[in-house]
Amino acid sequence: MNKLTLKTEGETHVIATRRFAASPEVVYRAHTDPALIQRWLLGPEGWTMPVCVNEAKPGGKIRYEWSNGKGQGFYLTGEYLELDPFRRIVHVERMFLPDPTPDNHIETTFAADGEGTLMTMRMTLPDPQTRKAMLATGMEHGMEASYVRLEGIIQAA
């Protein structure tokens, strides 16, 4: 099943996993090539990403700007910390809504899984309050900001 799973871990982590029917190399490229990112990382129907900067190298910059074409928009900036091509990415990011959210530290791994790839994103927020705020505002912006299931919260107890 290629279904997104979300769970919380400890006080400040959120773990997302997803399987893809493509090799780790291809999935990795879809996460680091701006022309590819602009085709899928869009959130709700009707939104586009007119600006996509993704410098996939240590210290490289990330900037995604989204627009709904009706004057509404928001953006995200980030920096790459580590890249192990086709296997692992470590970066930090924050959303501007319009004030910046605290940094979300994200380790993404791409593991060969049969014919496909298992992607695991381990997000670390600076404190439980930030994680809570991320979860509570994420839906409004439809994407990227929030990952969890209630059973994860209950199980974390």
Partner 1 sequence: MNEGFNLDAAFAALADPTRRAILARLATGETTVMELAKPFAMTQPAISQHLKVLEEAGLVTHRIDGARRPRSLAKNGIEAMDRWLETLRAALEQNYRRLDAVLAGMEELKKQRRKRQ
CB of 69 or CB of 156, closer to partner 1: 156
Stretch (H or E) spanning 30: helix 24-32
Q: How far apart are CA 125 and CA 30, in angstroms?
A: 25
CB of 2 or CB of 59, closer to partner 1: 2
Residue 70 in the binding site for partner 1 (CB under 8 A):
no
Facing residues of 61 across strands?
Answer: 79
Min dist. Cβ of residue 82 to partner 1 (A): 22
Give the residue from 92, 38, 34 showing the smallest Cα distance to 67: 38
Residue 132 in the binding site for partner 1 (CB under 8 A):
yes
Q: Work out which of 14, 89, 125, 148 binds partner 1, going by CB under 8 A.
A: 148
Residue 73 in the binding site for partner 1 (CB under 8 A):
no
User: By CB under 8 A, how many residues form the interface with partner 1?
Assistant: 44
Label residue 43 left, alpha or beta by phi (over 0 means left) and psi (-120 to 50 means alpha). left
